[in-house]
Amino acid sequence: MSGIYSGPLSVAFDDAGHDARWIGEWIHQSLDYLRKSGMRMAGWEEDPERPFFAESLPDEAYSAFIITAASLFFRMPLLSRIAAGSRHSSHPLVLKLADGDGYSWGKAAMARFIIPSPDSFVYIVQLPGENGPCHAASTAAFSDALSHIRSLLWPEADDITVIGWSSAGGVRRPDRDGEYPCGDLARYAFSVLFRALRFSSASGTPAAVLKSLPAFL
């Protein structure tokens, strides 16, 4: 199970074994690096009492979304089924997308850390508790990526419809073969990410896709 989170980072990464001072220094260094690169960046305050968005997301659903995004980027047929326990990290199209050079909406869609900024950019960051670097993006770039995917897959769906995809009882169980319809899972994950981005943009806090859920969930 993964977690989608937006709010105080000292709360989100508490289960990674880092104290608030370490998180604060990580935030300072990240902002300083981005500002020196010419990015417009608003600071955020680490207030543990500040409201947050936190929701669980089955790993298969997140994987279905990433694989779908990679397939769209390379104009390949979409995966119709996805097996329970599948991980996008081993899918050939995702690996190809991750190794490519330059900015693309595909990389923005793969971002695991979304930082509030009106500029559109993607970069590489080492998240607290992670074993290696991962893709990160600005809220502007991530929003553009979601808008692009939405225009290709669900052009008729309005915001209310998209929000409803992840508020109708969650993800159903896999069938007898241990598989899910990939499109249904991708739509569910898209809805959760869409709502998290709306919260992040409105509150001015970063968003993150966490491999393990924060302790308070």
pLDDT at 55 over 60: yes
Q: Report yes or no on 8 lying in a domain.
A: yes
Least confident interval from 19-28, 53-62, 80-89, 150-159: 19-28
SS3 56: strand
Residue 141 has pLDDT above 90, yes or no: yes
Q: Which of 42-46, 60-64, 93-97, 156-160 has the lowest mean pLDDT?
A: 42-46
Does 132 reside within a domain? yes
Asked whether residue 19 is domain-assigned, the answer is yes
Continuous H helices in the chain: 9-12, 20-36, 59-73, 92-99, 105-109, 139-153, 159-164, 182-203
Overall pTM surpassing 0.85 (yes/no): yes
Q: Does residue 159 sit within a domain?
A: yes
pLDDT band at 169 (very low <50, low <70, confident <90, very high): low
**In sequence order, which residues have a C-beta less than 8 Å from that of residue 119 and are 6 or more positions away?**
39, 40, 138, 140
- Asked if pLDDT for residue 156 goes beyond 90, the answer is yes
Higher pLDDT, 59 or 167: 59
Residue 140 belongs to a domain: yes
Q: What is the pLDDT of residue 215?
A: 45
State residue 216's pLDDT score: 40
Residue 12 inside a domain? The answer is yes
Residue 217 lies in a domain: no
Quote the number of domains for the chain.
Answer: 1
Range of the domain at 59: 2-210
Position 157 in a domain = yes
